[in-house]
Amino acid sequence: MDDEELVGAWRAAEGEPGVVVLDGFHALKHALRFGGEVRRVVTVDRGALSGLAGELAPDVVPAVEGLAVEVSEAVVRRIVPRLHPTGVVALAVRPSRGVNLAVLGERPRRAPVVVLENPRNLGNVGAVIRLAAGFGATGVVTTGDLDPWHPNVLRGSAGLHFATAVERVALPELPAGPLYVLDPEGADIRDLPFPDDALLAFGTERHGVSAELKARADRLAAVPMQPGVSSFNLATSVAMGLFHWMSGRR
């Protein structure tokens, strides 16, 4: 396949429903490790990619070597806005909405679901998904217009979307379970254990959670904060909430 054919095939595959771009080796590694369907992999240096996989992720070496196609840097720059430092870009298929909702709705649930109400920052959402995967949360659901599978969110999560269930829902579609809303008016989080099947809901840094979501809460929980400080970063708040849950399971 010459360069023009490769670029054309990439564009066609990229436009298929459910296909997402994986930017860099770590996103590719996580998609493969956690069972994602990876369609195409291109790299500017196949040998270097194999070496990186062998050093950092031996478990995915066979898959990487079976999928990777070496192309020039000029070709990679034609199919992605910028070249990742690892010189790798791939296409994968996101899990279907039905699959994600089934995972999120399964009961009994052994780990919380993180709820982000109307998040605005793509990088923050990616960081939250990375945290959710690291803590073993059941998944992350967002409300509002932001697409949690946007390329910039995937970049922020390092591809860990494939390690947990990530879906956008309307507020009435939240999974079942006790709703714990992080809000300054709540009880001190240190006195309020989070159950395994909790929904842990977080609002925006500027406005917090909506009155609608607060009204639905089973409990309000507050993270202690020094007077005069307006808010914590969203990802930091989620990390504190998930660490608090994990600490209570010891």
Q: How does DSSP assign 188-203, residue by residue?
A: EGGG-PPPTT-EEEE-
Q: State yes or no: pLDDT of 110 exceeds 70.
A: yes
Res 250: pLDDT: 61
115 and 199 co-located in one domain: yes
228 and 112 co-located in one domain: yes
Identify the domain boundary among 30, 63, 93: 93
Res 249: pLDDT: 77
Residue 38 is part of which domain span?
A: 3-93
Residues 6+ apart with CB under 8 A from 108: 196, 197
Res 201: pLDDT: 97
Res 177: pLDDT: 95
Q: State yes or no: pLDDT of 207 exceeds 80.
A: no
Q: State yes or no: pLDDT of 227 exceeds 90.
A: no
- What is the average pLDDT score of the chain? 93
Res 225: pLDDT: 84
Reported as a pLDDT band with limits 50, 70 and 90, residue 147 is very high
Res 159: pLDDT: 95
Q: State yes or no: pLDDT of 154 exceeds 80.
A: yes
E strand intervals along 122-195: 139-142, 165-168, 179-188
Identify the domain boundary among 93, 109, 141: 93
Asked whether 219 and 178 are in contact (CB, 8 A), the reply is yes
127 and 235 co-located in one domain: yes
Residues in the chain: 250
200 and 85 co-located in one domain: no
83 and 105 co-located in one domain: no
163 and 119 co-located in one domain: yes
Q: State yes or no: pLDDT of 195 exceeds 90.
A: yes
Of 94, 109, 121, the C-alpha closest to 202 is 121
Average pLDDT over residues 56-72: 94
Edge-to-edge strand order for the sheet containing 19-23? 19-23, 88-93, 37-43, 68-70
Average pLDDT over residues 60-84: 92
Q: State yes or no: pLDDT of 72 exceeds 70.
A: yes
Res 160: pLDDT: 97
Tally of domains in the chain: 2
Task: Please state, for a pLDDT cut of 90, what percent of the chain lies above it.
Answer: 82
Reported as a pLDDT band with limits 50, 70 and 90, residue 52 is very high
Q: What is the pTM of this model?
A: 0.93
Res 219: pLDDT: 96
Average pLDDT over residues 14-27: 94
Identify the domain boundary among 93, 116, 145: 93
10 and 106 co-located in one domain: no
176 and 67 co-located in one domain: no
- What CATH number is attached to the domain comprising 62? 3.30.1330.30
For 73-105, what is each residue's pLDDT tens digit?
999 999 988 889 999 999 999 999 999 999 999
